[in-house]
Structure 1
Amino acid sequence: MRLSHSLAPVTVAVALVLSLPYEAMPHPRVKAGEPAPRQPFGADCRTTVDGSHVVAYCHNPYADIDRVALHVECDRWWDLDVDGPAVDTGPAMTVRLAGRCWMEVRSVWISHQKR
């Protein structure tokens, strides 16, 4: 029986790969010297600003606890900025964070810390 010209190189390549030792074959899922992939982390937060009041809702869809804190920067130079207390957001938990300025709000952000 004669192999066709297009099938012969494929057959030889498969035979060579199967004859290699296990350590010599590439494994796409396992790479030497590379750390394990990072696990997803971090609560999803929504912030709203209404005049001088700020409200944020943070929902943690992951298994690790995320410690979130609200930070408010006020627009006026004499108005004190607000750094709210850190709150633990457990798995499948939603927390409400609030802060305010006396006058206008310049910026708002949420900090995350793995616990």
Structure 2
Amino acid sequence: MRAKHRRAVGVSSAAVLLAGTATVLAEVRAAPAVPAERPPAYEASCSTTVEGSRVTAYCHNPYPRTDRVRLHVECEKWWDVDTDSAPVDVGPTAYAELTGRCWKDVRTAWLTHQPERDSAGT
């Protein structure tokens, strides 16, 4: 009797486990896929270097749309003037170099990107 009871418990346990797994798999398949966070398809890839009080940014645009890039430099000393470069349009497959500086030390430097405006209107 005990052998039959063990088999019955084992079979029923396996059935419950398989039913639960099927339910979980159905829920996973029904869940919408979450897209990976990607940068916009117009931003040029840029890198910055800081040498003393000078900052240089190197940008290359691998995309078919023009990217308008600006370099922003924040200086360490309160009396030192922070700078923002003039916007530079980096066209498709183009390369640009932007520079900025402080009188003394650089605290941070970053770039901003803006897509090219459509020429058909506003």
* Structure 2: distance between partners of 1:107 and 1:113: 20
For the residues of structure 2 that align with 1:57 and 1:51, how far apart are their CA atoms? 17
Secondary structure (helix, strand or coil) at the match of 2:43 reads coil
Amino acid at match of 2:106: V
What are structure 2's unaligned runs of at least 5 residues? 1-38, 117-122
Number of aligned residue pairs: give it.
78
User: 1:5-49 deviations in whole A, cap 9, x for unaligned?
Assistant: xxxxxxxxxxxxxxxxxxxxxxxxxxxxxxxxx972200001000
Secondary structure of the 1:78 match is coil
1:94 partner amino acid: Y
Aligned to 2:52: 51
Distance 1:39 1:51, change over 3 A: closer
User: How far, CA to CA, are the matches of 1:60 and 1:102 in structure 2?
Assistant: 31
Q: Which amino acid aligns with 2:52?
A: G
Give the Cα separation in 2 of the matches to 1:40 and 1:76: 36
Give runs of aligned pairs for residues 82-97 of structure 1, distance below 5 A: 82-97=83-98
Greater fraction helix? 2
- Highest CA radius of gyration, 1 or 2? 2
Tell me the distance in 1 between the aligned counterparts of 2:87 and 2:64: 18
SS of 1:76's equivalent?
coil
**Equivalent residue number for residue 111 of structure 2:** 110
TM-score, normalization by structure 2? 0.62
Identity of aligned residues (%): 54
Residues 84 and 39 of structure 1, relative CA distance in 2, 3 Å threshold: closer
Unpaired runs of 5+ residues, structure 1, are: 1-37
Give me the whole-angstrom Cα distance separating, in 2, the residues matched to 1:73 and 1:39. 25
> Residue 98 of structure 1: CA displacement?
0.2
2:102 aligned with 1:101, yes or no? yes
